[in-house]
Structure 1
């Protein structure tokens, strides 16, 4: 049963019979799914299952195999201008950190959300409206004290906050995040969870990948499980985040515990 079968939601991404091959290896197979406004969606699955590839379909850095029976639309369009897409969806991929050159400041990284390039010269071309927007993001993400620091010198948590600020420069309605909580300490994890929860309250929809159940955002209302390149299950957290299903998903016997909207898992003795 489709997760949104009880109420009709407007979709922003529609994938029908989608297959993806990378280096002649099939990574995603027979993907049939819609992503909808009003949903905050967790993508969960083992390493190598195709989660990040699924997200890269959404930012158009990976393209599916085309066939007469397949269809892939974003905002009801088969072809969408990349700049129009960036204004609608903010993206965060961990590999972005590796693309930042030595000497580039945190401020340069954030303003690159407008230009697409990590270059300080663009700061001279910012409009007053864009400068105000950047200043607001710097305040919201607690980056004031380090805004002139070299990006490469920052902690993982600071880098992640900077890249999220970058993803928000166009005030998108949707955020697509690949492993946003990876390698974060307790404080950075808390700050990120708090700020993303605030965005959800402001009607920003979030699609994200995480391996850590403790990092599931409390307002997540949809879970898509991917196993071996296929969608294994699609439903609500209450339906899918449990010991039986996740033990099968990850091929390990685990006990899943939920308390006041937060989750964690521990190995069993089996």
Structure 2
């Protein structure tokens, strides 16, 4: 079993406390340990109270609530997500973007391996790795990170355009869909990240759009009901309350 308790026993439960009771974050009650099968390195997510806040605090998998129908914020991915949150805080605490970037690149790969060991389906694990990696590049890679994300957006448009053109004027236009993969090669070690972001976004983008279009009228009706019953229409946006004191306990 890849995840352990502090005493070395297999992790048989993940003890979390939702604080505040209507808030979006959780405190880890007991430390969680992970031994990476590739490097043999021992990683540890400390329990809340072992260090200054927000040490030991997690939002589990950082999936926007409208997308929980595709990837849940908890489940088999909970322990890897808790560990990744702890490692992300440690990288941020370095105070040096270059060192933090290098540390996060290693930690994000460990996150992906942990997801796979927990039985998360391969495509889902790779997508979750790609999204946390994209956020890492945005946060720490500076202009290069924004260039990478811009290339992903352009690549998505190219892939979608190739499909539309193929439908309108012939299947040979599908060859254009290979362009983003070729353009990713100069990024070398980050080429797989570009490809993993570009093609699933192009494939699942229409599904996400339909999902959002269905969700908007539902939330709107919820808000209208709140208005006429004296409730809080703004509260329909999140499944939990997000207050400033809930973000940093």
Query: What TM-score does the superposition give when structure 1 sets the normalisation length?
Result: 0.28
Q: Which protein has the bigger strand share?
A: 1
Q: Which has the higher contact order (CA 8 A, sep 6+)?
A: 1
Query: What TM-score does the superposition give when structure 2 sets the normalisation length?
Result: 0.30
Give the greater-gyration-radius structure (CA): 2
